Chains A and B, each alone.
Chain A
Amino acid sequence: MPRRPLYFLLLLLLAAPLWVRAQQQPQLKLDLPGLAAQADQVSEVTLDGPVLRLGLAFISSDATGVSPQERDLLTRLKGIYVRSYEFKHLVVLSPADLADLATLRRQLRGGGWTRIVNVHSRREGETDEVYLRTSPGGNSILGLVVISLQPDEVDLVNIVGDIQPSELAALGGHLGIPSLSNAPAGKKH
């Protein structure tokens, strides 16, 4: 067998796991360092692997009021990442902050990501965006991202896991995720 095609084949076989992993990894880089430096309160929560199992172990008890369906959903999650920046005054996004947000949004273009919610309220000065990454067959949701910009708070949430579309509504109202039951996609105010 000729050598050159063999080398290419070998390279492809070696690189394939990396490519597959890159395609399948819906966890994103969420940090906004500029906002973190300005904010009055910064909170970063990272729950994945054993740490997620610790958090889920706490909610497995009946005492927490979590329904069996919600518990089942939470046990299928692979990661929960939350970044929250709170201000005592109105948030003023600098060009650097806007660039960081643009970088985040660029990660959500293509690669299976779709924006399903884009709500802006001029009166309340609030913008909420929700992105989903679906499996190739569209049967389940592999990742979810929420970008919430409020007058005095910026919240970013990334959830990685196997979520059924019918379960999306159950996530709304938790972990900083807005209610998703009635939100139309791509609607602007």
Chain B
Amino acid sequence: MRRAALTTLALAIMLAPLGASSGNGFGTLERRLEAALHAKPLHPHLLGFAALMGRMFDRRQAAGLHLAIFPAPGAVDVRQLAAGALPADWMRMVYSRDNNDGEQALIYVRQRSRNSFQMLILAFDPQGSDNDSGGKDGDGPQVVLMSLNVNPAQLMQQAEQRRR
């Protein structure tokens, strides 16, 4: 009995990493950014609630929306920040960089199910956020991490409905 319990426990410990969701790339990358940038992220208030309300009215609204904004100490390379942080099922789809001001964007995608994908966007904004007058609030450079689930068929349905 004791041997069976120990065996089960050992098996559970060995298999636990396999059960851990590789889908939570947002959390993984968020922790990596916290460590690399030595800063806590800002999570916009009520974003989750707003997304939930949106989905109550229209289930085709993007789900799994998470946003974290980090102050950056200066210029950063988002590829280096993300390098090796995500499991192999995440694939880099787009990388874009403006060498004039250092603005960068990385987009990773992972398939969740046959019709659903998870998208991670990691961006570096060297000038911080815009204020309502079109100027800059002087927030300084920021690294923005966003995650959302995408169902292309539903999105296109929505776009088609709006077009009509």
Q: Shortest beta-carbon distance, B103 to chain A, in Å? A: 10
Main SS of chain B's interface residues?
strand
* B89-108 near A? 1/0 per residue, CB < 8 Å: 00111111111100000000
Query: Is A53 part of the contact surface with B, judged by Cβ < 8 Å?
Result: yes
Q: Shortest beta-carbon distance, A44 to chain B, in Å? A: 4
* A57-78 near B? 1/0 per residue, CB < 8 Å: 1101111100000000000000
Q: Shortest beta-carbon distance, A41 to chain B, in Å? A: 6
Partner of A46, one of B92, B111, B150, B156: B92
Give the complex CA separation of A43 and B104 in angstroms: 10
Give the complex CA separation of A46 and B91 in angstroms: 9
Find out whether the CB atom of B97 lies under 8 angstroms from the CB atom of A41: yes
Query: Is B159 part of the contact surface with A, judged by Cβ < 8 Å?
Result: yes
Query: Is A40 part of the contact surface with B, judged by Cβ < 8 Å?
Result: yes
Q: Shortest beta-carbon distance, A64 to chain B, in Å? A: 8
Query: Is A54 part of the contact surface with B, judged by Cβ < 8 Å?
Result: yes
Find out whether the CB atom of B152 lies under 8 angstroms from the CB atom of A58: yes
Find out whether the CB atom of B99 lies under 8 angstroms from the CB atom of A54: no
Partner of A61, one of B92, B98, B115, B153: B153
Find out whether the CB atom of B91 lies under 8 angstroms from the CB atom of A44: no
What residues on B are CB-neighbors of A1 within 8 Å? Answer: none
Query: Is A50 part of the contact surface with B, judged by Cβ < 8 Å?
Result: yes
Give the complex CA separation of A39 and B104 in angstroms: 13
What residues on B are CB-neighbors of A48 within 8 Å? Answer: 91
Find out whether the CB atom of B111 lies under 8 angstroms from the CB atom of A54: yes
* Smallest Cβ-Cβ distance to A39: which chain B residue: B99
* Smallest Cβ-Cβ distance to A54: which chain B residue: B117
What residues on B are CB-neighbors of A43 within 8 Å? Answer: 94-96
Find out whether the CB atom of B99 lies under 8 angstroms from the CB atom of A41: yes
What residues on B are CB-neighbors of A36 within 8 Å? Answer: 97
Query: Is A13 part of the contact surface with B, judged by Cβ < 8 Å?
Result: no
Find out whether the CB atom of A42 lies under 8 angstroms from the CB atom of B97: yes
Find out whether the CB atom of B91 lies under 8 angstroms from the CB atom of A49: yes
What residues on A are CB-neighbors of B117 within 8 Å? Answer: 50, 54
- Listed residue (A37, A48, A62, A63) with the most chain B CB atoms within 10 angstroms of its CB: A63
Query: Is A47 part of the contact surface with B, judged by Cβ < 8 Å?
Result: yes
What residues on A are CB-neighbors of B109 within 8 Å? Answer: 50-51, 54
Q: Shortest beta-carbon distance, B9 to chain A, in Å? A: 35
Find out whether the CB atom of A57 lies under 8 angstroms from the CB atom of B115: yes
Find out whether the CB atom of B97 lies under 8 angstroms from the CB atom of A63: no
Give the complex CA separation of A37 and B152 in angstroms: 34
Q: A45-B93, A46-B93, A51-B93 are in contact. Are A63 and B156 (CB under 8 A)?
A: yes
* Residues 118-164 of B at the A interface (beta carbon under 8 Å): 150, 152-153, 155-157, 159-160, 163
Q: A57-B152, A58-B155, A63-B160 are in contact. Are A50 and B110 (CB under 8 A)?
A: yes
Across the A-B interface, the 9 shortest Cβ-Cβ residue pairs: A57-B152, A61-B156, A50-B111, A63-B160, A44-B95, A42-B97, A58-B152, A51-B91, A51-B93
